């Protein structure tokens, strides 16, 4: 206590200490280790050796798995767009029209997080199955072509990813919409703006930070995901996450796996940096939840 | 013209209501399916298509010892990692919100980074560290990993809660002769307790549900999600749906009770 009283500047340091130590040991150190591992050669049995000459791991890995990177980015984009299409009207409704039901609706939005991610994804297998409770009747009344398949296609993978991460899109958009000063909209109305005009020139521009934050928070987990591709896809829908998972846990080719993970990380850091340039990091770190 | 505009507005608002309801239904659909299929009596091993209604799965909840062990491991890891992460995360958030010091912005960004890192990279990099240091994989490595990703979530949640804190309350306590220690426990702590509870519930849920990072660092340990994953090929027993429904109802009730208590407290204030 005495020491603290004499040096009040120590207080924040002491408060930060345990958390920073934990993150340094189990976030920063592992990432540095992984970067080092990407310059390894050898196998788990014979032991690994480090050499800068092993930088070829990168072009080799990229060459072999280019297809999966491209597919991950495509699926990530598609899922993010789908999330936006679902999230924006819902967030708008909750922010402007829901009244007293607002907190209950917000709660429903995060409720999926309270059940198992794997089971939710498997739940879609049940829902999208060829003769499922929902598709079966739709097919028998002729609304859907009876031979149509949804499961084990790129569609089901993208839809699954979008489903799992859509709350990350809804919440930031809701926060930015909710903050809008309603008097601005009233002023627009007084000045004879149409409701579409007011939306386009006031609501939408003010929602941009939320849309950006939401897109990033959806896109990041989306391109790294492998559960949806594995449970809802086919061998032709493998993403980079599936490859990394397999290389680490089945093939145990750590150098290639580390190089693949590091490149994925770089891709995302580039995205975050771009975001920071455009809108500032404070906006993002305070919007995450 | 005006009539047309009115009509347009009416259609737009109707459309919005329908769209929002459909979106909410979409969000709830898999959860309803999971709960519904906990009452299914599946023909064969896979529980994908509906056959007939039964309470059996709920009555034989503890039948598979591996599943019970997995649920136990999940709850244990979630409890320990939540306590550690909530404690050190709350301290960090207090430092970040209330003090001005060098590198504050940099530290803020550093704490956020794990949230911006795909889970697969978090899990894989930890695995390379543990393998290199030859730390045996198991419950301990899982707790280390779960605390790591939970700390960032706790800090972000607590920062939002703390930034609305009225510092004059602490000044008043100090003016009335309270020591910093007394001020913390008698004034600050009770006021930030709802935030701490919310962070803890979030951390507990995230830990209980984590699959990707756990998969990489579990070794031979099976948690609830790992058990599910290993059963996908052979067919998931319907008891899993019952457990998942139970967890869902438990967390939802906890959150609802928390919200009600907070509302009651807010109403008591003059």
The reported pLDDT for the residue numbered B103 is 82
Task: With a cut of 50, say whether residue A238 has pLDDT above it.
Answer: yes
- What is the phi/psi pair of residue B66, to 5°? -65, -40
The pLDDT of B205-220, averaged and rounded, is 88
- Which residues on adjacent β-strands are paired with residue A40? A50
Q: Is the pLDDT of residue B153 over 70?
A: yes
**pLDDT: is A284 or B89 the higher one?**
B89
Higher confidence at residue A82 or residue B240?
A: A82
The pLDDT value recorded for residue B219 is 83
Q: A122 and A231 in contact (C-beta within 8 Å)? A: yes
Q: For residue A283, what is the nearest residue in chain B, using CA coordinates?
A: B109
Q: Is B55 on the interface with A (CB under 8 A)?
A: no
Q: pLDDT band at A285, cuts 50/70/90?
A: low
Of the pLDDT bands very low, low, confident and very high (cuts 50, 70, 90), residue B270 is: very low
Q: How many CB atoms lie within 10 A of CB A137?
A: 12
Q: Tell me the average pLDDT of chain B.
A: 84
Section A167-171 average pLDDT: 88
> A84: part of which helix (H) or strand (E)?
helix A57-96
Instruction: State the DSSP string of A29-57.
Output: HHHHHHHHHTTEEEETTTEEEE-GGGGGH
Alpha helices in B42-188 (DSSP H): 56-59, 65-98, 104-116, 119-133, 139-162, 168-175, 180-183
Closest CA to A108 of B255, B96, B178: B255
Per-residue pLDDT at B236: 81
Quote the CA–CA distance of A266 and B185 in Å, as a whole number: 44
Which of B22, B125, B238 would best serve as a mutation to test chain A binding (most A beta carbons within 10 A)? B125
Assess B184–A contact: CB distance below 8 Å, yes or no. Answer: no
pLDDT digits (tens, 9 = 90+) for B120-131: 999 999 998 998
Test B31 with A116 for CB contact under 8 angstroms: no
Chain B residues with CB inside 8 Å of A212's CB?
A: none
pLDDT at position B76, please?
93
Out of A49-53, A229-233, B33-37, least confident range: A49-53
Task: Please state which of the ranges A81-90, A185-194, B28-37 shows the lowest mean pLDDT.
Answer: A185-194
Q: What is the pLDDT of residue A107?
A: 84
Helices (H), B210-237: 212-217, 224-231
Mean pLDDT of A230-237: 84
Kindly tell me if the per-residue pLDDT of B12 is higher than 80: no
User: What pLDDT does residue A85 have?
Assistant: 92
8 Å CB contact between A272 and A216 = yes
B138 CA to chain A: closest CA distance, Å? Answer: 15
**Tokens at A264, concatenated:** 């994925």
Closest to A219 in 3D by CA, of A150, A280, A287, A267:
A267
Q: Is the pLDDT of residue A9 over 80?
A: no
CA distance A31 to chain B (A): 5
Give dist(CA A67, CA A87) in Å, integer. Answer: 30
Contact A16 B95 (CB under 8 A): yes
Specify the pLDDT at position A287: 47
Residue A268 has pLDDT above 70, yes or no: yes
Reduce the secondary structure of B29-46 to three states and give it as a string: HHHHHHHHHHHECCCCCC
Predicted confidence (pLDDT) at residue A4 exceeds the cutoff of 70: no
Residue pair A238/A67 in contact (Cβ under 8 Å)? The answer is no
Of the two residues A55 and B89, the one the predictor is more confident about is B89
Confidence of residue A279 (pLDDT cuts 50, 70, 90): low
What is the distance between the alpha carbons of residues B233 and A243, in angstroms, rounded to a whole number?
19
For residue range A33-43, list pLDDT tens digits in order.
888 888 787 77
A286/B117 touch (CB, cutoff 8 Å), yes or no: no
Shortest distance, CA B76 to any CA of chain A (angstroms): 17
Q: A138-170 in b/e burial notation, b at 16+ Cβ within 10 A?
A: ebeeeeeeeeeebbbbbbbbbbbbbbbbbbbbb
Task: Count the neighbouring beta carbons within 10 Å of the beta carbon of residue B15.
Answer: 11
**Secondary structure class of B53 (helix, strand, coil):** strand
Once rounded to an integer, what is the mean pLDDT over residues A270-288? 65
- Domains parsed from chain B with CATH numbers: 64-236 (1.10.3720.10)
CATH 1.10.3720.10 fits A56-288, yes or no: yes
What rounded mean pLDDT belongs to chain A?
A: 82
pLDDT of residue A249 exceeding 70: yes
For helices A117-128 and B2-36, angle between their N-to-C axes, nearest 10 degrees: 110
Question: How confident is the model over A179-192, as a mean pLDDT?
Answer: 82
Best residue of A43, A65, A122 to probe chain B, by most B CBs closer than 10 Å? A122
Q: Which residues make beta-bridge pairs with B53? A: B40
**Torsions phi, psi of A181, nearest 5?**
-70, 115
What pLDDT shows up at residue B151? Answer: 93
The residue ranges of every structural domain in chain A are: 56-288
Q: What is the pLDDT of residue B213?
A: 92
Q: Give me the pLDDT at residue A205, please.
A: 84
Q: What is the mean pLDDT of residues B92-110?
A: 84
pLDDT at A78 over 90: yes
User: What's the half-sphere exposure (Cβ side, CA atoms, 13 Å) at B57?
Assistant: 25
Specify the 3-state DSSP secondary structure of B112.
helix
Higher pLDDT among residues A81 and B267, named by residue? A81
Q: Does B30 touch chain A (CB under 8 A)?
A: yes
Q: What distance in Å separates the CA atoms of residue B109 and residue A23, rounded to the nearest whole number?
A: 12
pLDDT score at A289: 41
Reported confidence tier of residue A288, pLDDT bands at 50, 70, 90? very low
Q: Which pLDDT score, from 0 to 100, does residue A5 have?
A: 66
Contacts of A113 in chain B (CB under 8 A): 205, 209
Please compute Rg for chain A using Cα positions.
24
């Amino acid at each position: 206590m005495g020491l603290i009283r004499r040096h009040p500047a120590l207080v924040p340091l002491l408060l930060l200490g345990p958390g920073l130590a934990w993150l340094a040991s189990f976030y920063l150190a592992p990432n540095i280790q992984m970067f080092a591992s990407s310059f390894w050669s050898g196998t788990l049995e014979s032991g690994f050796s480090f050499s800068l000459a092993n930088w070829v791991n990168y072009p080799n890995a990229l060459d072999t798995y280019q297809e999966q990177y491209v597919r991950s980015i495509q699926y990530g984009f598609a899922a993010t767009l789908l999330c936006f299409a679902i999230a924006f009207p819902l967030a708008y409704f909750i922010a402007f029209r829901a009244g007293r039901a607002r907190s209950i609706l917000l709660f429903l939005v995060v409720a999926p997080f309270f059940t198992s991610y794997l089971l939710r994804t498997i739940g879609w297998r049940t829902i999208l199955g060829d003769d499922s409770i929902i598709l079966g009747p739709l097919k028998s009344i002729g609304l859907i072509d009876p031979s149509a398949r949804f499961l084990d296609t790129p569609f089901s993978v993208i839809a699954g990813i979008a489903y799992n991460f859509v709350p990350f899109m809804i919440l930031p958009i809701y926060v930015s919409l909710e903050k809008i000063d309603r008097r601005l909209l009233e002023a627009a109305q007084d000045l004879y703006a149409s409701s579409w005009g007011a939306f386009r020139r006031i609501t939408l521009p003010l929602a941009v930070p939320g849309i950006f934050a939401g897109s990033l928070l959806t896109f990041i987990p989306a391109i790294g995901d492998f559960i949806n591709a594995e449970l809802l896809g086919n061998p032709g829908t493998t993403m980079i996450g599936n490859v990394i998972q397999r290389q680490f846990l089945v093939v145990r080719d750590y150098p290639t796996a580390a190089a693949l993970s590091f490149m994925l990380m770089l891709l995302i850091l580039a995205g975050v940096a771009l975001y920071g340039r455009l809108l500032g990091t404070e906006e993002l770190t305070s919007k995450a939840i | 013209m005006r009539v047309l505009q009115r009509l347009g507005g009416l259609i737009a608002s109707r459309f919005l209501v329908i769209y929002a309801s459909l979106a909410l239904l979409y969000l709830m659909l898999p959860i309803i399916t999971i709960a519904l299929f906990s009452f299914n009596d599946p023909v064969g091993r896979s529980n994908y298509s509906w056959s007939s209604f039964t309470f059996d799965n709920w009555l034989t909840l503890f039948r598979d010892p591996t599943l019970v062990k997995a649920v136990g491991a999940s709850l244990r890891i979630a409890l320990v990692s939540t306590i550690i992460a909530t404690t050190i995360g709350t301290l960090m958030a207090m430092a970040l919100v209330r003090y001005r010091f060098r590198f504050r912005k940099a530290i803020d960004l550093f704490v956020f980074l794990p949230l911006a890192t795909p889970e697969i990279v978090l899990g894989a990099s930890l695995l390379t560290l543990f393998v290199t240091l030859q730390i045996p994989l198991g419950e301990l490595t899982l707790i280390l990993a779960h605390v790591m990703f939970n700390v960032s979530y706790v800090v972000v949640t607590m920062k939002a809660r703390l930034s609305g804190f009225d510092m004059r309350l602490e000044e008043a306590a100090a003016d009335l002769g309270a020591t910093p220690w007394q001020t913390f426990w008698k004034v600050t702590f009770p006021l930030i307790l709802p935030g701490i509870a919310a962070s803890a519930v979030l951390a507990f849920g995230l830990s209980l549900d984590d699959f990707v990072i756990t998969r990489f660092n579990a070794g031979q340990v099976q948690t609830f999600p790992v058990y599910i994953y290993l059963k996908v090929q052979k067919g998931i027993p319907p008891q899993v749906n019952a457990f998942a429904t139970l967890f869902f109802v438990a967390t939802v009730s906890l959150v609802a009770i928390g919200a009600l208590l907070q509302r009651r407290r807010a109403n008591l204030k003059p």
